[in-house]
Amino acid sequence: MKLSIPKDYKPILDVNQTEQAIKQIKDFFQLNLASELRLRRVTAPLFVKKGTGINDNLNGVERPVSFPMKDLNEDVAEIVQSLAKWKRMALANLGIKDGFGLYTDMNAIRPDEELTNIHSLYVDQWDWERVITAEDRNLDFLKYIVKKIYSAMVRTEYHICETYLDIFPELPEEITFLHTEELAAKYPDLTPFERETEEVKKHGAIFVIGIGGEMPNGEIHDGRAPDYDDWSSATGNGFIGLNGDIIIWNSVLNRAFEISSMGIRVDKKALMKQLKIRDTEDRTELLWHKMLLNDEMPLTIGGGIGQSRLCMYFLKKAHIGEIQSSIWPDEMIKECKENDINLL
């Protein structure tokens, strides 16, 4: 069990106020996100059919929850791990045009998660995806979209602070852009997480570009599946990667706090290149991958934004279990209760 107890922690809002505030944050943020990115809300699946390539396999080692379907000849369904690839199919099916997109509530179960203050078996996020053109597949456009998302975050924080006067805003007005290769060169003796910590502590909010591809020093900053984000294309200045993470400084836990993973998605060329790098070229026989290679899906940019994490940050909570109802080890429940951390 990895549990961090902040010194002298006292929740600002009680359980009833917290429940009300969670709804306010979710309602306000998703409307602002949709407005900034021109997104339409859609209904999403809780599970998809195994063997289609639609489910997100994350880093390739996490086990999806699965079950047989009696009325479908015992074919197996998998609880989604994210909707990274499903959204692109939905854009094609709905005929959504360039410059517009969709968002949805994604609810997932990840049984292999290590349970901590910020990791739960239950994952909830806003999954979003927007149609782009071939000309948009560049670093400047990625930064443009990141700034729009960050603007919605800043606006939401201010709205909550105006509603609950004992909560004070902490996000800087602007987000700072950094590349994984820059961080590796600047902090060669630190781990990727330690590098992020050093920079976000200084800036308050950063977007770390280029996650998944091998850097010149041979490292991979963090794992990414080969078939949704484009982490192998050149971005200029010798850097690679058209994806990244939004990370903010969490003053309650005194640590870097990832809010969103996102990126420009693979086109046919990047897909084949990345499948080869990860030795997963057999995926070209799956339904989703065939559709992409046959030009049956649009070029897109997309990502996920953690709902419970965003609420946890804005409400100055020490544990994600103060925002969502999940299952925790008995020892963690006991220690949280002893330290005024009210798990739902």
Catalytic-role residue among 30, 82, 120, 125: 125
Question: Is 110 annotated in the active site?
Answer: yes
Of residues 56, 127, 129, 182, which has the active-site annotation?
56
Residue 140 CB contacts under 8 Å (≥ 6 apart), including other chains: none
Q: Are strands 101-109 and 39-41 parallel, antiparallel or unpaired?
A: parallel
CA separation (Å) from 199 to 180, 182, 205?
Answer: 11, 11, 9
Q: Which residue from 51, 107, 120 is spatially nearest to 79, judged by alpha carbons?
A: 107
Catalytic residue among 120, 260, 261, 324: 261
Q: 56 an active-site residue?
A: yes
Distances (CA, A) of 224 to 115, 160, 221, 241, 286: 21, 33, 10, 11, 19
Q: Which of 245, 260, 308, 324 is catalytic?
A: 245
Q: How far is Cα 332 from Cα 341, in angstroms, rounded to an integer?
A: 10
- Of 258, 274, 308, 326, catalytic: 258
Q: Is 245 a catalytic residue?
A: yes
Residue in this structure with the two tokens 């900034």, named with its chain if needed: 36
For residues 234 and 240, is the Cβ–Cβ distance under 8 A?
yes
User: CA-CA distance, 82 to 127, in Å (whole number)?
Assistant: 8
Among residues 78, 82, 88, 110, the one annotated as catalytic is 110
Spatial strand order in the sheet of 75-79 = 47-49, 75-79, 66-69
**Residue 258 is among the residues annotated as catalytic for this protein:** yes
Structure tokens that stand for 178 in this block: 């950094």
Catalytic residues: 56, 110, 125, 245, 258, 261
